[in-house]
Structure formats: structure tokens, C-alpha cells
Homo-oligomer: A and B are copies of this chain.
């Protein structure tokens, strides 16, 4: 049928207006130059009537690429992997995607979802983004070949993977600056997904709250390290290439990408036994500023040739920085990590760590080579253990009236 042909022009038309299509407030935010820094607030005490609250900030849903990837990382995230019901086929998957895309479109703009009985909880989107990802079982259900972007990683020696944090057919990634809005949006989506699927796992994480420090400050993880310094700058050609690909490294879809979500357990007690010098050597950066040991400021380029007076490299060969930074500049990833902590009671063990979310055009050409090097040698492996792993193909966005993944059903 002609649906695919007619959709393309319509999508282009709609995407042209998508940024301005978020209503008067969206336009105002963009006019104020806030569109690129939605984490920034413009509130002042006692002047509620003429200020904008972060609760009203919204991210586009209908666009050529899904939000929640290059969107400046919101304070809270929930990654939920669904198992599609056995026997669910393309028709059912299509219905599910239409339902939850519609929910996500509405909720991200501060509008109640269709069957939303707590409509007031949708009123403050607070930069809510809902991003969908497709795992191997998704493609099997709709009778399509599983793309490379959705294939599980090869086995690594350091992995101690647990089923309860690994795999999944359909990913819902919810990110939001407000935890109440996030909880409500998640419930709405899961309510609509309930007839089609079960929850395989759910992992939530946190970063700095909005307003704690200046927008754009690199997050610290629970080891106290600045985490994500190596990301290429927003808007750069390099970031574009890393996430969305180019002629050399094609993603699954020109406006799609892939997500590798690794749950990395961090042994804080063992880490505490290491002094600051040992910590800085293991990472290759200072704890205070995040600068490479050869530099002074966080974003200084590391100098891997620099030697100490005794002739040893200043940044050790076994350091995390050296091992994770390839000489091949195409082996780069885009990180958007969240901290997690689950406090144990009684004789249980508290687990802390990082939800390491990595986006890249090609898992095999970008993520896997880095991880292989870290698997062979990385001093940080003494304190960190990957305990969950999942890979999802991230489809493009969709036009208004469409749904995420619609191009697969034409």
C-alpha cells in the first residue's frame, strides 16, 4: 500500500513545525534560547506569576529523532524492559506501539493520556521524555530479521550478568526532572502495555537534581568521579557521527541509533580502602576537577605520552582513561549514565552503581571494541562488575499521527 510513500512528505512537513509545535510555552522557551538547555530554570522567589517553572519545560515527542538521547540528561530515569506476550504478532505489536506512542506524545507535552484517571499528575512534564527501543524478541514477534543494533553483546570475562537486569523485547526509557511526573507517566504506559506484555525488569537511577548546580555540570557518580567528561560537545559533528552515524558507520536507520544499557555494580566499601592517589591513578584523572593527570581542567585532552621524572607514563597504561580512549577516533560512544542505589535491610547487601547508558550508531564498531579493551585490562575492574546488559535498536521518531516504529509496518 502507499502508506509509506505518503508518510514521508507528511512527516517532513510536520517535523519542520515540531519544535514550534509544543505550544506557546515551548515557543517561549525556544525564543529565550532555553531550548538547548532545558535543565535551566528561570524562577525567582515571590514572583510566581511572571516566572517559568521547570515543571512546564517540555521536550518534543513528534520529531525525526526520538528525544531522551541528546536531550540534556534529566534528573531521574527509569528503564523498563518488557517481554512481549508469547504469541503476540505484528498486529498486536502495532496496536501496542500506537497506544504507548500516543500516551508518550501526550504526557511529554503535559497532557493527560487517554485513559488517565489522575490527569492532574500529567500537568508538569518537567522535560519528560519517553524513548522506545526494540530488542531481539520485538523483531521476532513482527517477523523481521533482528538488526545488528539489537544483538546482544559478546560475552566478556568481567561480566557477572543476572537475568533480572538483562535482555528484553521492548524498552521504555523514561527520563524526567520530576519524580512524581515520572512515576505517573510510567504507570500510564505500563497500564496500556499490560494486555500485551509483562515487565521483565525495571531499573531506576538518578543524577543531580535541577538547580543543585549549574546546568551542564558533569555528574559525579557514587565513587565521587566526574562521569561523562569524554562526551563530545552538544551540536558537534563528532557527536552527530557517534550517535547517528555517517557514511562509514551507518546506524540501523538514518535517524535511529542503538542503546547499550549496562548495570555496573560498584563496590564502594572496597573503593573506600583505596587512598586518593590510588583512585586517581586507577582512573587517570584527578578526583577534584576531573582533569586528566596531565592537565589542569576537566576538558583538557589527556597527554598519553607525558612521562614522570622516573620515566613512567603520567597516565598509566592500565588506567581507565587510557584503556577506554582508543587511538581509533571512530571508537567513540555517547554516555548518559544514571546512578543507582538499593539499600539492603538486615543482613542483605546494599548495592550501588551506575546504569551505564551508551548510545552509538554501531554497537559492533563503537561499543564492543572499547568494552573488549576494558575487559582485558582496566584497573577499575577491581571495583566494578557488570551485572546487567541489554541492547536495543532505537528507532527514529515519528510524525504527528504516526507512532514509534511505524515504518516497520508499512
Chain A interface (Cβ < 8 Å from any Cβ of B):
32-34, 37, 40-46, 48, 53-55, 75-76, 78, 80, 117-121, 124, 126, 164, 177-181, 183-184, 186-187, 190-191, 198-202, 204, 206-215, 219-220, 222-224, 268, 271-272, 276, 287-288, 339, 341, 343-347, 350, 352
13 A/B residue pairs, CB under 8 Å, sorted by A: A37-B45, A40-B46, A41-B44, A42-B43, A43-B211, A80-B343, A118-B222, A120-B224, A121-B222, A121-B224, A179-B208, A181-B212, A187-B222
A55 contact set on B, CB distance < 8 A: 208, 211-213
A46 contact set on B, CB distance < 8 A: 33, 40
A53 contact set on B, CB distance < 8 A: 211-214
B183 and A339 contact, CB distance less than 8 A: yes
B43 and A43 contact, CB distance less than 8 A: yes
A198 contact set on B, CB distance < 8 A: 346-347
Identical copies in the complex: 2
B178 and A208 contact, CB distance less than 8 A: yes
Report the separation of the CA atoms of residues A224 and B120 in the bound assembly, to the nearest whole angstrom: 6
Whether A220 touches B45, Cβ cut-off 8 Å, given contacts A209-B54, A211-B55, A345-B200, is no
Report the separation of the CA atoms of residues A190 and B343 in the bound assembly, to the nearest whole angstrom: 10
Report the separation of the CA atoms of residues A214 and B43 in the bound assembly, to the nearest whole angstrom: 9
Which residue of chain B has its CB nearest to the CB of A80? Answer: B343
Report the separation of the CA atoms of residues A191 and B53 in the bound assembly, to the nearest whole angstrom: 38
Tell me, rounded to whole Å, the shortest Cβ–Cβ distance linking A193 to chain B.
12
Tell me, rounded to whole Å, the shortest Cβ–Cβ distance linking A80 to chain B.
7
Tell me, rounded to whole Å, the shortest Cβ–Cβ distance linking A390 to chain B.
13
A220 and B180 contact, CB distance less than 8 A: yes
A341 contact set on B, CB distance < 8 A: 183
Which residue of chain B has its CB nearest to the CB of A288? Answer: B120
